[in-house]
Amino acid sequence: MPAATPRPGRRWGKLVPWLFVAPWVFGFIAFTVGPLLYSLYMSLFNWPLVGERTFVGLHNYSSMLQDEDFLDAVVVTLKFAALYVPVNLVLSLLLAMLLNQKVPGQGVFRTLFYLPSLISTVALVTIWSWAYSHEYGILNYLLSLLNIPAVDWLGSPDWAMRSVVIAGLWGLGGTMLIFLAGLKGIPSELHEAAILSGAGPVRRFFGLTLPLLSPVLLFNLVTTLIAAFQQLALALLLTKGGPLKTTYMVALYIYDTAFKHFEMGYASAMSWVMFLVVLLLSMLVMRFSSMWVFYEAEVKSK
């Protein structure tokens, strides 16, 4: 604890610091942790929005295992994450590396790649559903110039998931910016030394850039993973889960269960399971991060 200067807490009485942090403490209880615990309580009930609620114990949790809609939604969510997370990370890292080169107009390019991440999902979805239009869409027109037959982007079960991922990738600006900051933090002397010792670009990337970037990569991996598992607005607006439920993800199923069928108890149970899965996944990634993440101090001591 930093105590080099006289500690103000003593002179101002014990209560003053708490007055400053009180807003957050109250808000955390009222709008975050309180609701989280309350939904655990709700998940033990058959809880319609109006009418009689009955205690059912863990029944909501056990019925999840027999609910085929839920299990299908889990598979769809895993597919989405398996596609979205790696492609997002690779693309935003590649863009960041391009932006890190000294070429004219760097700042302009950075802004252009970042802009789409600033707009509302509603706008993003209108823009993409028009671009994806089967008959009049700009994408199918560009394909036709290359003599590629038109794709039914949102209507075909084969393509719908990929189309959702592509539209989602348009907003990778935030991830890219964080990679770029990480790249700028690598001292250029290290690269110059590596070039002098005869290392080619591939070796410099895997031997120098990637290890030094690994803490940033870990941060981006965890945040993208969490975002992928909670994707709701995109599927809700772009495909409504269709066609043939090929984009019907868990978050959408939970939303429908709660706010269309008004089964609040069952929906709470599902959202708790999702919360625990996301928590577990993030903890696993953190746990195994020591195998591939290097922090500056370690590199220095080697």
Scanning residues 81 to 140, which ones bind other proteins (CB under 8 A)? 95, 98-99, 101-105, 109-116, 118-123, 126-128, 130-131, 135-136, 138
| Contact set for other proteins, span 151-170 (CB under 8 A) | 170
Our CB check for other proteins shows the closer of 199 and 278 to be 278
| ∠ CA 128-133-137, rounded to 5° | 90
Residues 40-59 within binding reach of other proteins (CB under 8 A): 42
Find the shortest distance in angstroms from Cβ 70 to other proteins: 15
Alpha-carbon distance of 199 to 4, in angstroms, equals 47
| Minimal distance, residue 236 CB to other proteins, in Å | 8
**Considering Cα of 148, then 151, then 157, then 160, what sign does the dihedral take?**
positive
CA distance 207 to 194: 9
How near is the Cβ of 65 to other proteins at its closest, in Å?
A: 20
Of 243-302, binders to other proteins (CB under 8 A) are 251, 254, 258-259, 264, 267-268, 271-272, 274-275, 278-279, 282
The count of chain residues that interact with other proteins, using the rule CB under 8 A, is 94
* Least distance to other proteins, CB of residue 12, Å: 6
Task: Dig out the tokens for 259 from the structure.
Answer: 């706010």
Q: Which of residues 180-219 bind other proteins (CB under 8 A)?
A: 180-182, 184-185, 216, 219
d(CA 268, CA 258) in angstroms, rounded, equals 8
For the CB of residue 120, give the shortest distance to other proteins in the complex, in Å. Answer: 4
Stretch in the footprint of other proteins (CB under 8 A) among 9-17, 79-87, 152-160, 187-195:
9-17
